[in-house]
Chain A
């Protein structure tokens, strides 16, 4: 996880296009400039970044379902609950399940777990739109390799 670069997912653990499900792993860094302000002498993973973790994880299953032809954009967050503090160095497992694939949008149910215990959850709605620039798709394909996204499952095989 590189907070300053918004790289919230370290690795895809499991992904099923048919079941609309993905699980990812990420470890909160032990050091980051973010912790200098959040908070001095008491570093905490910001809750908004935990929500970003859930959004990015859900993004991988939605990209998979769209075969990287279109891209999910965060549109709405509902019932977000931040149950426990998350400290630097904590290993997270992030789970996302597609609740609904609409026309041009999708809704996912998401949670973050620490040692099997849910620390946050939310329902997230995405707009599914064409890539705004080819560079964005290229960046996501490069990120897919970094997180061990199963590109062969969507016919890329790269």
Chain B
């Protein structure tokens, strides 16, 4: 988890020019870090490449739009990292 977070935080810092020290596991990518949807595509691209996965962004947004999930479940960084770890585990299973 910690290494996943470090990788994700570094990607966000580099992609969005956000000071690395301000990026915390509790940070909400949209509400706290003010990352917009276009910048998040860059982040998703970098995460997909770094972890060899495909973040299911469309599914997540559909769930949020349908009221079946909250943005916190996917866009608070510790939760995002948990999702990444699950995707990585599923890939190698």
Contacts and interface: CB of A to CB of B under 8 A. Distances in A.
Interface stretch (B1-9, B21-29, B41-49, B76-84): B41-49
B59 to A, nearest CB: 7
Given A75-B38, A76-B42, A125-B41, A104 B57 contact: yes
A102 B48 contact: yes
A107 interface: yes
Nearest to A128: B58
Interface of A: 75-76, 100-105, 107, 125, 127
- The SS class assigned to the A binding surface is strand
Contacts, number: 35
- The SS class assigned to the B binding surface is helix
14 contacts: A76-B41, A100-B45, A102-B44, A102-B48, A102-B55, A103-B55, A103-B59, A104-B57, A104-B61, A105-B41, A105-B45, A105-B57, A107-B45, A127-B41
Nearest to A105: B41
Interface of B: 38, 41-42, 44-45, 48-49, 54-59, 61
A107 B48 CA distance: 12
Contacts of B41: 75-76, 102, 105, 125, 127
A104 B65 CA distance: 15
A122 to B, nearest CB: 15
Nearest to B39: A76
A127 B39 CA distance: 12
B45 to A, nearest CB: 6
